[in-house]
Amino acid sequence: MTFHEKVAEVLEISPERLEIPLQNIDRWLSKNADAPHRLNEWQRIIQEAQTSPQSFQKMLQLLRSPSETALHLKSYTPFHGILTREERRSTIESCAFRH
């Protein structure tokens, strides 16, 4: 399982954690992040996901997608801090077993 797949799994259970990437985006934009266009895109996606079940599912699909467009967007992810230490550990372990 990839980091973003785990994030999608966790968000299905705890959608309130979407506040974490929004806080990251605000903080990074206030510090003149080097990819504001991607952060703005994530902000739009996350805020839309908070407004409707369809948009929420669309965001989860994006997080799970291996498409080139999704990978490009996920290369500048605001989801740091969304997983607990245990969730990160289990994701790292599952990734190690796949290789």
pLDDT on residue 88: 81
Mean pLDDT, range 27-54, rounded to an integer: 95
DSSP state of 32: T
Q: What residues make up the domain containing 48?
A: 3-98
**pLDDT band at residue 99 under the 50/70/90 scheme:** very low
Question: How much is the average pLDDT of 29-49?
Answer: 94
Confidence (pTM) = 0.88
Residue with the larger pLDDT of the pair 63 and 3: 63
pLDDT at 94: 65
Tally: H helices and E strands in the chain: 6, 0
Position 55 confidence tier, pLDDT thresholds 50, 70, 90: very high
Number of domains in the chain: 1
